[in-house]
Structure 1
Amino acid sequence: MATKIGELRGFELPREYYHWLSKESVWGWLFLLPSLIALGLVSVYPLLRGIYLSFFEYDGIGEPQWVGLDHYAFILGWTEFWLIMRNTLVWAFASVVIMALIGLGFAILLNRDFRGRSIATTLLLLPWAIPFISIALNWRLLYNFELGPLNGFLRLAGISEGLPWIASSRYALFSIMLAWVWRNFPFFMLTFLAGMKGIPGDLYEAAHVDGSSRIDSFRHITLPFLQPVAVVMTLLMSLWSLNHFTLIYVMTGGGPGNSSMVLPVYIYERAFHLGEMGLASAIAVAMLAVMLTYGLIYLRLYREDVGGK
């Protein structure tokens, strides 16, 4: 009877796949089915719908009008799109580098034994628990030209009469980046700290006996052990940053002008403020292609560190 499992009209399922037809496997898929359906409704269907609409002129109300690849051809020659793409890449990758450096620095400090370490760890983790809306509104208050504490400190120190942090095209993107880094550096800090806890202490003791300095131990022991963790974290945070919407939209809405505009906010503006659903969908597909390309190249370059080889 067992040899007949998988036979259907002369076709026999390879023996290594017999477990798929076992009772446990069938029940497992049945339990997963509600989650798969929900995932399809909230993720797969919108993705396919967006790709479909990118080939149409559509305002969200009337009938979609077929335009083929016109939207994609328009995007490729659109100066504004490439300016916003540059802002998006600068926003994502510069902030990730700063987060990683700050997170690593605090992880090194918290990896030492000192009084109040648990309290310090808790306080440093607080930004990670605060909702984005609250962070955006509070940082807008911090950046207020007349009443903001940052400009108040600059005036007290005699450094400046104040900076137009989010009201100037020169500082807007950088100002939002500071808030984004403050919110997310605990993610790097906690993960780096967990990675350091997993490094065998015998390695540091052997290095000390051999006369290695702390810097040498950090370079040749700590960093190599943290590299696989860092690869995964930077990939995840880069993709999250590329796809982030809330902080930028609430703090500046992409302004002044387009100085702090990034693709997620721009897609929203085009789709729901200007009613250009088709063009917005094409921009979203282009953004998806950029993220997929980046992720695949990143994993290809560091496949040994993420367990692929």
Structure 2
Amino acid sequence: MVKYYQLRNQFLNRVSLPRKYRHLLSKESVWGWLFLVPTLVSLGLVSVYPVIRAAYLSMNEYNGITPPTWVGPAHYVKILSGWPEFWQVLLNTVSWAFGSIIIMLIVGMGFAVLLNREFRGRNVVQGLLLLPWAMPYIAVALNFQWMYNYNLGVFNGLLRLVGLGAIPWIGSSKFALFSAMLGWVWRNFPFFMISFLAAMKAIPDSLYEAALVDGSSRWELFRHITLPYLQPVIIVTTLLMSLWTFNNFTMIFVLTSGGPGMSSMVLPVYVYNNAFLSNSVGLASAIGMVMMVIMLGYGLVYLQLYRQDIGQV
């Protein structure tokens, strides 16, 4: 801190400035903002500018090579006026996100309840269950792609072992989206598990002891004590994971590329296909802007629910 004041005073003594600016620079808050300027500029370049650029391109017909041609809101009219392909992809995306979140909530909660009890080897089990969270998305996707292989995959090998027929996990429109969902759930359920476990550790033991004295069952303990205490954590973790899932590109792209047909196509992959395979950068930008509005709306609703929940505690 002394070094900071010395450097500041040296700067003010060496630089000739009008009195009002010298007085302004003598304030610590001003220096704080000055130190933040490089970070804010960098953040603007990597976050704000791409959004502005995408909004501009969404109003143009652009193939990435020739100059953009202004078309106004034509892309948005196409998207929102009942374009069947877009609405099918949106339905797939919502199904993918909603289904994944529900499964991860249940699995994460189950393992959190298990790990909240004392038993031999608990730390080892917890460490093993956290391993998926440490793996890169691309590695998880490639591993599941191998396990889903029709002829050599682990899953079909187990099915054949018990006398059942093989399943085209990622080669059938019936199973492709669900198969990708399983890989995503396996990779991310530890996020829910460790968040719930940390919240459970903060619940006073006296509440459980008093309820047990009153004759409450384990289900009643979970329903009337554990769940109410976990509500804020459930809301925040669900919000974060919903946004990550809705915006995820890697798992679907590596496993199915949106196929067969459009059966597992989700919005991030759809944006990629339009921009880089169909060279419709303007349309892809418009779809991306619609995605952003959907996620912002969803986030605002969830934050409002979170505030209401906190206000009731």
In the alignment, which of 89, 109, 117 is matched to residue 114 of structure 2? 109
Q: Match for 1:301 among 290, 305, 309?
A: 305
Distance 1:60 1:108, change over 3 A: same
Task: Name 2:149's counterpart in structure 1.
Answer: 144
TM-score normalized by structure 2?
0.90
More helix by share: 2
Compared with structure 1, are the counterparts of its residues 49 and 199 closer, same or farther at alpha carbon in structure 2 (3 Å cutoff)? same
Alpha-carbon distance between aligned partners in 1 of 2:136 and 2:150, rounded to the nearest angstrom: 24
What is the CA–CA distance in structure 2 between the aligned matches of 1:22 and 1:91, rounded to whole Å? 55
Alignment: residue pair count: 289
TM-aligned CA distance change 1:21 to 1:273, over 3 Å: same
Distance apart, 1:294 and its partner CA: 1.2
Counterpart CA distance in 2 for 1:211 and 1:288 is: 50
3-state SS of 1:304 partner: helix
TM-score by length of 1: 0.91
Residues 21-170 of structure 1 aligned to structure 2 (within 5 Å): 23-76=27-80, 77-158=82-163, 160-170=164-174
| CA displacement at 1:28 relative to structure 2 | 1.7
The 5 A counterparts of 1:271-282 are: 271-282=275-286
Cross-structure match for 1:287: 291
Structure 2, unmatched stretches of 5+, are 1-23
Residues 86-108 of structure 1, C-alpha deviations (whole Å, 9 max, x = no match): 00000011101110110000000
State the partner residue of 2:3.
Answer: none
1:307 Cα deviation (Å)? 6.0
Secondary structure, aligned partner of 2:308: coil
CA contact (8 A) 1:254 1:262 kept: yes
Q: Write the mapping of 1:6-25 to structure 2, written as runs, cut at 5 A.
A: 23-25=27-29
CA distance in 2, matches of 1:101, 1:303: 24
CA contact (8 A) 1:299 1:306 kept: no
- Consecutive unaligned residues of structure 1, counting only runs of 5 or more, are 1-19
The one-letter amino acid of 2:59's match is: F
Q: Which residue of 2 aligns with 1:210?
A: 214
Bigger drift between 188-197 and 74-83 goes to: 74-83
Determine the C-alpha separation between the residues in 2 that align with 1:306 and 1:137. 41
Letter matched to residue 84 of structure 2:
T
Query: Is contact 1:231–1:306 with CA below 8 Å preserved after alignment?
Result: no
- 1:220 corresponds, among 224, 227, 251, to 224
Question: 1:230 is matched with which residue?
Answer: 234
Aligned-residue identity in percent: 63
Deviation of 1:303 (Å): 2.2
Cα RMSD of the aligned pairs, angstroms, is: 1.5
Matches of 2:83 and 2:114 in 1, distance apart? 47
